């Protein structure tokens, strides 16, 4: 789907029509991915797919290869074997219809909030957009993350949570089909993190975007995701998968959340046991 055909944020009817034209293969598919750093095999035989507008959490212990897999799926690294397809095309570099957010907002200190949120929209590989459209996209994204009125602030004047809101707005301004989020809230305090988790779900639903969220936090995965993939093993692989069919807001269903949490925790413990088996 090209930029012009993309539904405007909030236009659910258009989005449904667009979704109906999507192939059955999903927005992103990965087939038989291996990745190694030199002699170190990080993961092997990873196959997965992400559907349009789906929020997928990639959960696993430290060092199991989550960030590396995200980087391969985002086109930042090439797999040692296997293939990633995005919008039915082989992915060779980051796609202009995808966006990334990381643990740190990485704002440019010499640019005001609005310019930071617009950063990257003019890059050569981005679809060309008129200045007026560009500004309205950026303003809309900043308003959606609760920063209307702060467009002229400097990054140094922002809290960590506000800086991460700018990073999220910068991603939304690209109108991504798929947002890659690598532990985006792990540096925030618990209350801000909970706010940002709810905000992420709210805005990606409004933007009709899919998300791949890398996290080591089971609660975050359950609160945010439609589907959870558990990564583990040495080398890493996808070991288990859950569809989260707890209604939103999930905080209102503590019994169902706790039951799923215990199930995932048991599986996560098994991955550690397997990973350390035979290690003195
Ligand atoms: N640039 C690199 N060169 C060599 N090895 C690396 C490099 N980056 C990561 N690794 C190794 O690859 C493995 C997977 O790292 P990765 O960061 O993908 O794991 P992770 O699951 O995201 O971990 P965490 O949750 O701690 O961020 C680790 O053993 C790590 O030490």
Q: Which two tokens stand for residue 231?
A: 């990564």
Return the pLDDT at 120.
81
Identify the pLDDT of residue 15. 46
Q: 248: burial class by Cβ within 10 Å (0-12, 13-18, 19+)?
A: middle
The CATH number of the domain covering residues in 52-97+176-258+268-280 = 3.40.50.300
Successive 10-residue mean pLDDT values, the chain, 280 residues: 37 44 71 95 97 97 94 97 96 94 95 95 73 89 96 96 96 96 94 95 96 96 97 94 95 95 93 61
pLDDT for the residue 124 = 64
Domain layout of the chain by residue ranges? 52-97+176-258+268-280, 107-174
Protein residue with its CA nearest to atom 9 in ligand 1? 68
Centre of ligand 1 to C-alpha 34, Å, is: 14
What are 243-280's pLDDT values in tens digits?
A: 999 999 999 999 999 999 999 999 998 887 766 654 44
**By the 8 A CB rule, do 177 and 97 touch?**
yes
Number of neighbours of residue 18 by Cβ within 10 angstroms: 18
For a mutational test of ligand 1's pocket, the pick from 66, 214, 237, i.e. the residue with the most ligand atoms closer than 8 A to its C-beta, is 66
Closest residue by Cα to residue 166 from 186, 189, 196, 201: 196
CA of residue 237 to ligand 1 center, whole Å = 14
**Residue 131: per-residue pLDDT:** 76
Q: What is the mean pLDDT of the chain?
A: 88
């Amino acid at each position: 789907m090209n930029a012009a055909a993309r539904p405007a944020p909030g236009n659910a009817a258009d989005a449904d029509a667009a979704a109906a034209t999507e192939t059955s293969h999903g927005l992103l598919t990965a087939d038989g991915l291996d990745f190694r750093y030199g002699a170190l095999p990080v993961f092997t035989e990873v196959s997965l797919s992400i559907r349009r507008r789906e929020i997928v959490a990639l959960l696993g212990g430290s060092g199991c290869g989550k960030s590396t897999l995200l980087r391969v799926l985002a086109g930042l690294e090439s797999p040692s074997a296997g293939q990633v397809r995005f919008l039915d095309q082989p992915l060779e570099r980051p796609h202009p219809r995808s966006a990334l957010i990381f643990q740190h907002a990485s704002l440019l200190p010499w640019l005001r909030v609005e310019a930071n949120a617009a950063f990257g929209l003019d890059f050569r590989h981005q679809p060309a957009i008129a200045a007026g459209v560009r500004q309205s996209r950026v303003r809309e994204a900043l308003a959606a993350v609760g920063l209307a009125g702060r467009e002229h602030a400097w990054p140094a004047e922002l809290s960590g949570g506000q800086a991460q809101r700018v990073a999220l707005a910068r991603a939304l301004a690209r109108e991504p089909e798929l947002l890659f989020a690598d532990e985006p809230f792990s540096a925030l305090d618990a209350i801000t993190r909970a706010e940002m988790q709810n905000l992420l779900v709210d805005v990606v639903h409004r933007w009709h975007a899919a998300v791949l969220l890398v996290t080591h936090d089971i609660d975050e995965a359950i609160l945010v995701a439609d589907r959870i993939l558990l990564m583990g093993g040495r080398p890493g692989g996808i070991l288990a998968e859950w569809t989260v069919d707890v209604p939103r807001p999930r905080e209102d269903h503590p019994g169902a959340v706790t039951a799923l949490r215990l199930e995932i925790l048991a599986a996560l413990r098994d991955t550690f046991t397997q990973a350390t088996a035979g290690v003195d």
